Structure 1
Amino acid sequence: MTVMEDVQSPVTSNSHKRSMSWWDSLYTGKPLKLSSHGWDFTNNKGPFQLLFTAATLKNYTDSLELRRFSCRSISFDNCDFDGEFTSDVSNGDITFAKCNFSRCDFGGTVWRGVKFNECKFERCSFTLAEFEDCNFIECAWADITLSGTETKLPNTLISNPDKFISAAYTNLNKEILSRNNTNPSYQKMRLESTKATFSRTLLKNAESHGNEDAYYNALKTHLNQSLKSRAKKTAYELFLGKDIISNFWSFLAALLEILLINITGSLNSWGKSIARPAIIGLSLTLFFGLLYGYIDKNYATGIIKGFDITFLVGYTKHSNNDISQNMQVLYGVNAFFGLWWYAILVPTIINRISRVN
């Protein structure tokens, strides 16, 4: 059975991103001539400036009577994709494994149930693209363009959402921005807002479709990104001179929240680990117990005192007006860390049980 001709006549890319979308990672200021190409990569492991469509994939799989389509170790450079890539066009699953996508445009495409395993996306544009029920497992990301309203990810799992979010790109070239009546501060503010939107979407998807590592990674990403977005917005308004006092305190509050939430999150691996806060609690008890034992010259009594105060069961028994102010301060510090630890451990246990149920 013959396979349809891979290479067809040159066409102009239907995307204006390279020539007009100055904020996009694909932007070069000029259009790109592409040649339509089929999906047989036997003699071409590095397709360059080619257009790949769902229609040609359908023709290819039908001609070979394939029950699934798998693309492995292919490097797409300055390529565009077009159409709806679903199980209908491949007669089964569509999988990309260890493929590289460089300066590729996914705009105008729909991908349903497609798996991307250990692929790399560099300076790719996902605006106007939809990925439904897709999996991106251990993929690498660099300078990708997203749109909070035009990039759709319904029920799509990304195993490393932190790297996906941090790779989001916007053009910060001052000369280009000035020609378009904007500036780097505004673009950064908009970018952080877009990243916050996607962090919330990825968390929602990971709740029902991801494994434990993906879920807690998404939780960490969302908590941090929402605060970063708030900090960047207030910083931009300070730059414009709006509500200086209010925005100044809001900015400081956001930075403080980022610091505290990361310290707290690290104590229980963002809710994933019960063992870590348990070990920290025992370490606190031992540390303060040995310290009290050294001060009182009785380590057995010191360990008991460290347990009482850290676990908040005997703080009032040991803290009274007869002890020095220095000891009262030490007891207070011990009780504070004990309370903080307790407030982390108990919700972590409840959350883990709730997740399992």
Structure 2
Amino acid sequence: MDAAPAATPGQQHIGHRRRDCWWEPIFDPEFVLDQEPYDWDLQRDAGPYRRFVPASTLAARIKAGETLEVRGILFRECDFQGAFEGDPIIMFDQCRFIACDLAYSTWRRCHFKDCTFQDCSISLASFHACELRGCSWSNIGIASRTEMNKTFLSNPGQLIAASVSGRDPRRKTWEHRMHQWFRLRGTRAHFLRTVMLSHATTGDEHTYYETVRLHELERSSARVAQDIYETIFGPGWRRLVAIPATVLHSFNYAIMRALGSLNGWGESASRPFMALLACWIVFGAIYSKVKFASRISAPFQKSFDLTFIIGYGNQVAPSDPMLTFVQDIHALAAIVIYSVFFATVISKLSRAR
């Protein structure tokens, strides 16, 4: 009897993630995958089902200098592995990926346009010089080791909202539930940092600043989530540290959300400028309408002096505590807005340098 032919390098399935990784949406211990490599014959049927999809069989169908277009194909419960590389690009247009595992796959110069990813995992996947535009995400597994380099993701907020972390079916405790909850928050923050660094050199400005917003808020909320977990389930000394930490990190989250909104997370210099004008007008109206003990002869000039931090020292009236209180609030608001405005302008003007 003739010996069976040796497996071609890159055409042998590796790992047992569907059996072992209970935190992933693809987890199914009873799952049976067809180990025969999919041949990428897209004309034969609507798409592969429970197939091992290696990059090596796709490479044979790529012609140098021609875009390979994969349109409207349904990939159901497939495992993608290997280096998928376009020459110049591979275009997946309006394809659907249902319960697919992309671990141990590398995608180079691959574009995904208006695709649907449902119950999939992109943990341990790498994307280099790729685009994911207008894709729909639902119940997605991510990891801190999901790599994105010079890759554009048009809707990072939707992907983050769709990310999940399952629970071990053998553990039914609330401690385990909350542990997975706070760990998912941390994973989201790690992943968003990768996306943010990728968007720094790829894509449009608006999406970059949106990613900055998502990262900063997710990082802060991840700290709060960990503090809450340790307050409830941590050992004695960790609880004592976690209680005040929860308050401080919650305050930090509130500050970041408020100040980030003031300048569009670095995108807009006009927002804080308009806020300065509003501060001048609002407090000018207060000084002109409210009957303070001390008469204010030029309320809008007084508001201008305080708003632009040029005359606070001459505005204090010790005999009028109400006026002093309003002036302090005015000066504090002006300092915050003033600082954000100039920091935003300087950041934009000096970025090229």
TM-score range, shorter chain: 0.7 to 0.9
Task: Report what 2:82 is aligned to.
Answer: 83
Q: Does 1:205 align with 2:198?
A: yes
Q: What's the offset of the Cα at 1:330?
A: 0.9
- The secondary structure found in structure 1 opposite 2:258 is helix
Structure 1 residues 102 and 305: alpha-carbon distance in aligned structure 2, compared to 1, 3 A threshold: same
**Do 1:296 and 1:302's aligned partners in 2 also have CA atoms closer than 8 Å?**
no
Aligned partners of 2:324 and 2:161: how far apart in 1?
Answer: 45
Aligned partners of 1:292 and 1:256: how far apart in 2?
Answer: 31
- Deviation sequence 1:263-317 (CA, Å, 0-9, x none): 1111111010011111111111111111211126999822222211111212222
Structure-to-structure mapping, 1:39-78, within 5 angstroms: 39-42=40-43, 44-45=45-46, 47-62=48-63, 67-78=66-77
Aligned partners of 2:337 and 2:286: how far apart in 1?
Answer: 19
- The secondary structure found in structure 2 opposite 1:203 is helix
Task: Report what 2:345 is aligned to.
Answer: 349
Q: What's the offset of the Cα at 1:38?
A: 3.7
Task: Report what 1:159 is aligned to.
Answer: 154
Structure 1 residues 172 and 246: alpha-carbon distance in aligned structure 2, compared to 1, 3 A threshold: same
Aligned residue type for 1:266: S
Q: What's the offset of the Cα at 1:356?
A: 4.6
Aligned partners of 1:52 and 1:241: how far apart in 2?
Answer: 44
**TM-score normalized by the length of structure 2:** 0.86
**Do 1:13 and 1:31's aligned partners in 2 also have CA atoms closer than 8 Å?**
no
Q: What's the offset of the Cα at 1:204?
A: 1.6
Unaligned runs of 5+ in 2: 1-10
Q: What's the offset of the Cα at 1:256?
A: 1.1
Task: Report what 1:224 is aligned to.
Answer: 217
Aligned partners of 1:156 and 1:347: how far apart in 2?
Answer: 28
Aligned residue type for 1:41: L
- Deviation sequence 1:92-135 (CA, Å, 0-9, x none): 31112232222111122111121122322221112232222222
Aligned residue type for 1:278: F
Task: Report what 2:8 is aligned to.
Answer: none
Task: Report what 1:5 is aligned to.
Answer: none
**Do 1:19 and 1:30's aligned partners in 2 also have CA atoms closer than 8 Å?**
yes
Q: What's the offset of the Cα at 1:167?
A: 2.5
Aligned residue type for 1:59: A
- The secondary structure found in structure 2 opposite 1:217 is helix
Aligned residue type for 1:20: D
Aligned residue type for 1:288: F
Identify the match of residue 147 of structure 1 among 129, 140, 143.
143
Structure 1 residues 12 and 28: alpha-carbon distance in aligned structure 2, compared to 1, 3 A threshold: farther
Structure 1 residues 12 and 209: alpha-carbon distance in aligned structure 2, compared to 1, 3 A threshold: closer
**Do 1:25 and 1:169's aligned partners in 2 also have CA atoms closer than 8 Å?**
yes
Structure 1 residues 182 and 94: alpha-carbon distance in aligned structure 2, compared to 1, 3 A threshold: farther
Structure 1 residues 266 and 300: alpha-carbon distance in aligned structure 2, compared to 1, 3 A threshold: farther
RMSD (Å) for aligned C-alpha atoms: 2.8
- The secondary structure found in structure 1 opposite 2:70 is strand
Aligned residue type for 1:122: Q
Task: Report what 2:264 is aligned to.
Answer: 269
Number of residues of Structure 1 aligned to a counterpart in Structure 2: 338
Aligned partners of 1:160 and 1:341: how far apart in 2?
Answer: 30
Q: What's the offset of the Cα at 1:169?
A: 1.5
Aligned partners of 1:147 and 1:321: how far apart in 2?
Answer: 59
Higher mean displacement: 183-192 or 325-334: 183-192
Task: Report what 1:23 is aligned to.
Answer: 23
Aligned partners of 1:44 and 1:269: how far apart in 2?
Answer: 48
**Do 1:18 and 1:32's aligned partners in 2 also have CA atoms closer than 8 Å?**
no
Aligned partners of 1:118 and 1:355: how far apart in 2?
Answer: 33
- The secondary structure found in structure 2 opposite 1:147 is coil
**Do 1:82 and 1:108's aligned partners in 2 also have CA atoms closer than 8 Å?**
yes
Identify the match of residue 282 of structure 2 among 273, 287, 296.
287
Structure 1 residues 214 and 251: alpha-carbon distance in aligned structure 2, compared to 1, 3 A threshold: same
Q: What's the offset of the Cα at 1:13?
A: 7.1
**Do 2:88 and 2:109's aligned partners in 1 also have CA atoms closer than 8 Å?**
no
Unaligned runs of 5+ in 1: 1-10
Higher mean displacement: 337-346 or 305-314: 305-314
**TM-score normalized by the length of structure 1:** 0.85
